[in-house]
Every structure is written in structure tokens, then in C-alpha cells.
Amino acid sequence: MKFTAEQIAGILEGTVVGDPNIEVFKLSKIEEGTQGSLTFLSNLKYTPYIYKTEASITIVNADFEPDKPISTTLIKVEDAYEGFTKLLEYYDRIKSFKTGIEQPSYISQTVKVSESIYVGAFAYIGENVILGENVKIYPHSFIGDNVTIGDNSTIYPGAKIYSDCIIGQNCVINSGAIIGADGFGFAPTKDGGYTKIPQTGNVILEDYVDVGAGTTIDRATMGSTIIRTGVKLDNQIQIAHNVEIGKNTVIAAQSGVAGSTKIGEHCLIGGQVGVAGHLVIGDNVKVQAQSGIGRNVKNNEVLQGSPSFGYTDWNKSYVYFKNLPKLAKTINELEKKVDGNN
């Protein structure tokens, strides 16, 4: 698929400086640009590459003015990074545009669908499912009974959505993700065993939620596990039953949130973070990678460590942690001197 500089400028509402008819058909980093590729320059430390790049078109900020000759055609926009991102989204929509129902697949006669949906081969869609406009369900996906999926949401190959779950509009559920598996609920018995507690709730994803590959979100014991609007979950994350995650919170890979914990809005949680159950995490909280959260957290806290404590205090403490052998040696020498003087 080819685009001219003039077409790209039209999409981005930008201005062409150079050849408006030059075409591109691939993307590249600015330092790796070749003929026929499109790149961008937003970070000033990469400016020297714009004089060397062989990329046919480069998106730049509107105020960029080269101080040496360049061979690449420029498209000037207000924000080069934002413009390039917008273009990627546009390209992805075109590339992934599919409609129709492939065979073999199973769609219950009680499913409510629109003509704009796409269902890939070997997909299964159960009873009383409601699919919105432009929903895309890729091959080998499973959609259980009574599930609702909102407009423009995409379910990638092999994802599973168990019964009664609700997926909002413009959501993305990546391959291997499982939405609505049973929460981890077992009651101990007198003989030392465990009896399974039925998990009768569901999972609700509000709008614009992204769920990474291999991530699991468990259904509630009762009520709902709720992922609020704009939440972004990386790959291989575990969200337990009855958890609630606030709007626009981002969680990196391999993190886990135990049951019934409530996480606030606009939080940033690093990779391999563990959050214990039945906690309340405030808004705008930042948690550094590999931290362990075992207490309630107030708004705006920044945490690190396991068990975690204040990020600034952790950094100060680390200076002493790594010097403990030297400190111990110094103390031993001082003790010997004191003993010798006595």
C-alpha cells in the first residue's frame, strides 16, 4: 500500500516541503531510513540523522528548519510524534479492515450482529451475545453466552471472553487474554481440603480499555470485576476477582493484583509489581517495578521496594543497604579500639 506526501499531509493536516508526489510504502527509524520509507523526527538528539537519512518522507515539527541540505521530503505538523502516532493508527485501521463471517465458525442464532462485523474462522459465539458496530473477532476466539461487546472493539486470535461479561466500545483484547475465568475462591474444610466457592459475577471493561496478550481478568465472586475507561494493561498480568481499576491507570507486564483491591485513577504501576488483596490504592500513585504493596496507599504516593515504602526514602536507604559490609567492618574496628582502650 503506497501513500504520497500530499496524501499523508492531508491526513495529518500538515504542510509538504519538497516533492508532494513522492511515495512511501513502509515505516522506518530515522537512522535506518531507506528509499520508500516514512519516518519522523521529534527528539532533538536525533536531528543529525535527518541530514543522512535516505527515508523518502520525514514528519517534523512545524518549527523545524534544516541548517544543511537534506534529501528527504518534509511534512511539517504541530507535533511530529503525535502526527506519526495518528498516521500509525490510520494505517492500522486500513490494514486490519475486515468484514464478513468466515467459515467454519459457530454463531448462535440468538446473537445480535450488524453487517459491519468481522468473525474469523473457528470462532465460537454463544447464546444471546450482542455485538456492536465494527466489532472484529479474530479466528479461534471464544465469546461465551450473554456477552456484550461494544462498537469498534477488537478481539484478537485465541482470546476468551466467558459468559455474562461486558466489553465496552473501542476496546482491544489481545491474543491469549482470558476475561471472566473463575476467581480464586476456595473455603477450607474440616478435613484439611478445600471447597470451591462458586464465582457468580462477571467482568466489566468500560470504553477504550486495552488488555495485553496472555493477561487474565477473573470474574467476581458476586457483582463485577471492573476495569474503568482508558485503562491499559500490558501482557501477562493477573487481575483477581472483585478488583476495580480506576480510569486511565496503566499497569506493566507480569504484575498481579489480588482479590477485592481497589486501584485509583491515573496510576502508573511498573512491571512485576504485586498488590495484596482488600487494599485501597489512591489516585495518581506511582509504583516502581518489582515492588510489593501490602498496605493502603494514599493519593500521589510514589513507592518502591518489597514491602514498598516511599520512593525517596527507599533511594536514601539503598545507599546504606549497599554499604552495609563496609559499615559493619567500620563498627567492628571501632569496637576493637574501644575494647583496647578499656
Extract the C-alpha cell encoding 102: 468466515
For residues 14 and 189, give the distance between their C-alpha atoms in angstroms, rounded to a whole number.
Answer: 68
- 83-100 burial, b for 16+ CB within 10 Å, e for fewer? bbebbeeeeeeeeeeeee
At residue 307, the pLDDT reads 77
Task: Please name which of 31, 17, 103 lies closest in space to residue 59, comparing C-alpha atoms.
Answer: 17
Are residues 104 and 69 both part of a single domain? no
Question: Are 50 and 107 found together in one domain?
Answer: no
**Same-domain status, 165 and 286:** yes
The CATH number linked to 225 is 2.160.10.10
Q: List the beta bridge partners of residue 59.
A: 40, 75
The last residue of one of the domains, among 68, 95, 122, is 95
Domain contains 333: no
Show which of 95, 128, 145 is a domain's final residue.
95
Q: Is 324 domain-assigned?
A: no
Residues 4-8: contacts with CB within 8 Å, 24+ apart?
5/56, 5/57, 5/73, 5/75, 8/38, 8/57, 8/59, 8/75, 8/87
**How far is it, in rounded angstroms, from Cα 20 to Cα 181?**
53
Per-residue pLDDT of the chain (342 residues; tens, 9 = 90+): 789 999 999 999 999 999 999 999 999 999 999 999 999 999 989 999 999 999 999 999 999 999 999 999 999 999 999 999 998 888 777 777 788 999 999 999 999 888 899 999 999 999 999 999 999 999 999 999 999 999 999 999 999 999 999 999 999 999 999 999 999 999 999 999 999 999 999 999 999 999 999 999 999 999 999 999 999 999 999 999 999 999 999 999 999 999 999 999 999 999 999 999 999 999 999 999 999 999 999 999 999 988 777 888 878 887 887 888 888 888 888 888 887 776
316-330 per-residue burial string, b: 16 or more CB within 10 A, e: under 16: eeeeeeeeeeeeeee
What's the structural domain count of the chain?
2
**Active site members:** 241
Asked if omega into 104 is within 30° of 0 (cis), the reply is yes
- Strand 124-125 versus strand 106-107 pairing type: parallel
Whether 13 maps to a domain, the answer reads yes
Instruction: Let me know the angle formed at the C-alpha of 228 by 225 and 234, rounded to the nearest 5 degrees.
Output: 85
Q: Which residues span the domain enclosing 243?
A: 100-314
* pLDDT at residue 342, rounded to an integer: 64
CATH of the domain at 76: 3.40.1390.10
Closest CA to 249 of 235, 230, 236: 230
